[in-house]
Amino acid sequence: MSKYITTPIYYVNGEAHIGHAYTTFIADTMARYERLKGEDTFFLTGTDEHGQKIEESAEKAGKPTQEFADEISATFKNLWDEFGISYDKFIRTTDEDHKKGVQKAFEVMYAKGDIYKDFYEGHYCVSCETFFPETQLIDGEFCPDCGRATSIVKEESYFFKLSNYEDKLLEHYANHPDFIMPRSRANEVVSFVKGGLRDLSVTRTSFSWGVKMPKSIGDDKHVMYVWLDALLNYITALGYGSDEAKMNYWPADIHFVGKDILRFHAIYWPAFLMSLGLELPKHIGAHGWWTRDGEKMSKSKGNVVSPKEVADAYGVENLRYFMLREVPFGQDGDFSQRAFIDRINSELSNDLGNLLNRIIGMSGKYSDFEIDSVDVEKYHAKEITQMNTVLNSLDSFMENLQTHRYLEELWKLFAIGNGVIQEYEPWVKMKNNQKDEALATVAVVANILAKAAVMLHPIMPNTTNIIADALSFEINNASYKELIIDKKLLKLFNIKKVPPLFPRVEEPLMQEAPKAEPETIKEEQNSNNKVKETKKEDDNLIEIGQFFETSLKVGTVVAAEEVPKSKKLLKLQVDLGEESPRQVVAGIKEFYSPNDLMNTQVCVVANLKPTKLMGMISEGMLLAAKDEDGLCLIRPEKPKKAGTPIG
């Protein structure tokens, strides 16, 4: 069975940042996981190099557009190669085969009657490469996605009949509830489509940097609009429009994208595919954005995280682990050096690295580095059962893109391993002439390490290869079948000494991000990009884009209980229209009882990073007002569907 996994193709108007790295890491992890299980897997990444924004950026840089695109594209490819990303193809939209495929797709859609010529006049955002109707603009002028000023554009264009596919798209969403992952992201897409789809402009005449029109159309002044060009990469990479040698991998199993481009992938792309008569991808996985120390990253603040800088300081595999462990897929994540160091020291160094060192030390002392599993089942049946229970749970987490839960569950194996040593004290057994029992304890921990290394391999391939080499086996599909599927134990082997895998980090290895200065912020005022400075310290104004980063939703309280030993906290389960309720721990016990809240509605800040209060995870915050008369929750005037956005 074949698998096809993709990242977006990254836009070449700047170098790779930490968000690009996250998308690529999770896609690479999924590809490695499928290969480990023996699946024939094709993994695609690449760069998007056409459009007005690239043309303008090249002009500002004083370089020919192709040269500019070549240089930026190379920075992505070189970085992924340096990071050991296991892609099967790195596609560029300037590749000739890609251009041929795009032209063929245009011809097919045109012949079907899904593309027609007309004139377009409307508001255009150069940054987003998107037209917006005036009703969607902020203050009738600013882009609803990025907050920048739009400009009025009037030009001849070819249009794709997107409106024809409204009902078909809604039917597909209804019949395939896991088409958009996580499911919580599907609501915004469905709402957008139900609001009515307008036909989509798919060509431009005001710039020339793009895929030319097919000669059969006979209209040289047009170039393809960037989203039609870009989205088709997923099939042109497989040979669509040229040799079609790898089209057997289609449909894609999953397209990984950032939430900011979900609409294009979940609406435009499926409609294009329906027009072409091709199957739709099985899943679209939309992840959140990354902040730094709780603040949005920006060049002006000087707090943009360079993945290369982090990898050079801490190691790329430590970075992979941190990013995939730190944040639930779909939610926004925060890059904090302190949190990063804590995970390296506590989870990687203490839990994993130290366990390997203890096994090497004990086997060297007790059996001249020889380890034999012959008595493991005799003395450690309980631990084998515990280990297998954890291993059996892992696949579902990966299938649902829950890498944070996958790693959280996987780490239970190291807890079992360390617990075995503490409980059975092999050094005491050796003193009491119970050598067989002592060596069985060492061997069961070695087996736990081996099986954990196999399952950690997609996330940390180089590190786990070192562990496997120390335990005298190789991680591949054969060892996966033997150790994980068939639940066999390691054969007699000699363990090798290895240097410490995760040296402790005592202080930050990178310069901390500068603290935000509350002095001035810049706002775009009009389409001429006039800039006005506003004193933030005077009135604490924020940009409209900052406001839209906050996700406010209506939720229904489906369960509520007091938190023992707390005078202020209640533990709530709040339905936000997601697959399962969110747990929210709120300091409102002095003003509300659990019975007051059951089946009532509240307003929730839904994209806060989860935090712990009295040892309990809280996944959001309730909106409330408090004055001298007490506290009251902010509630909708009339009942609303759980998950309804507020804004």
Binding-site positions for Zn(2+) read: 125, 128, 143, 146
Residue type, 316: V
Give, as one character, the DSSP assignment of residue 109.
H
Inter-residue contact 239 to 9 (CB < 8 Å): no
Using only C-alpha atoms, the chain has a radius of gyration, in whole angstroms, of 27
The H-or-E segment that residue 90 falls in is strand 89-92
Residue type, 196: G
Inter-residue contact 609 to 597 (CB < 8 Å): no
Q: How many helices (H) and strands (E) does the chain have?
A: 24, 29
Q: Is the peptide bond before 182 cis (omega within 30 degrees of 0)?
A: yes
Partner residues linked to 562 by β-bridges: 570
Inter-residue contact 170 to 190 (CB < 8 Å): yes
Q: Which residues contact 241 (CB under 8 A, 6 or more apart)?
A: 97, 100, 101, 102, 103, 104, 105
Smallest Cα–Cα separation from 413: which of 455, 371, 465?
Answer: 455
Residues of each annotated binding site: 125, 128, 143, 146
Residue type, 377: E
Between CA 494 and CA 367 the distance in angstroms is: 9
CA trace torsion 319, 321, 326, 329 (10° rounding): 110
**Can you spell out the DSSP letters for 178-246?**
TSEESGGGHHHHHHHHHT-PPPEE-EESS---SPBPPTTT--TT-EE-HHHHHHTHHHHTTTTTTT-TT
Between CA 589 and CA 569 the distance in angstroms is: 5
Partner residues linked to 630 by β-bridges: 627
Between CA 576 and CA 643 the distance in angstroms is: 4
Q: Which letter, b or e, does each residue of 68-104 get, where b requires 16 or more Cβ atoms within 10 Å of its Cβ? A: bbbebbebbbebbeebebbbeebbbbbbeebbbbbbb
The torsion angles phi and psi of 410, rounded to 5 degrees, stand at -60, -35
Between CA 453 and CA 36 the distance in angstroms is: 12
Residue type, 79: L
Task: Count CA atoms closer than 13 A to 347's CA, side-chain side.
Answer: 18
Q: Which residues contact 556 (CB under 8 A, 6 or more apart)?
A: 574, 575, 599, 600, 601, 602, 642
Strand order in the sheet with 200-201: 130-132, 115-125, 151-160, 200-201
